Amino acid sequence: MTDAEGQCLCGAVRFSVSGPLRPVVYCHCEQCRRSSGHFVAATACHPADLKIADDAALRWYRSSAEAERGFCGNCGSSLFWRPDHRGHTSIMAGSLDRPTGLTAKQHIFVNMSSDYYEISDGLPRYDEDHPASFPGEGE
């Protein structure tokens, strides 16, 4: 998928992606659960393909030694996860305008999932990170 747009709940942070988006990955790690209130559904793009139209309300929080999370300082919407040493920026899939054309590919950190839900969609599951590749980059 190319040429996607998205925004936070209040519209103060708008962004666009001009290149391919990775399939959606469901992350069940503790940080994603605590920052979003549930597991996260995220796609990703190459950093150069992400353009923030208005970043006055965009805030970044260093959530670990390896990454930071972008969110709207007005409405609190979780928008991005940006690792220090990888060539992508994750985008919360729910922040994209519809239709997205994306499909879910896998679950990661399932060993950290909460006990109030079951994973029953048949997608591959991994106890640790298992980065999905971008279109055309192989598996």
HSE-CB for 24 with a 13 A CA cutoff: 17
Amino acid at 30: E
* Tens of each residue's pLDDT in the chain, 139 residues: 458 999 999 999 999 999 999 999 999 999 999 989 899 999 999 999 999 998 899 999 998 998 999 999 999 999 999 998 878 999 999 999 999 999 999 999 999 999 999 999 999 999 998 766 655 454 4
Task: Break the chain into its structural domains and give their ranges.
Answer: 4-112
Amino acid at 8: C
Q: Note whether 58 and 72 are within 8 A (CB).
A: yes
DSSP conformation class of 96: B
Amino acid at 111: N
* CATH code of the domain occupying 4-112: 2.170.150.70
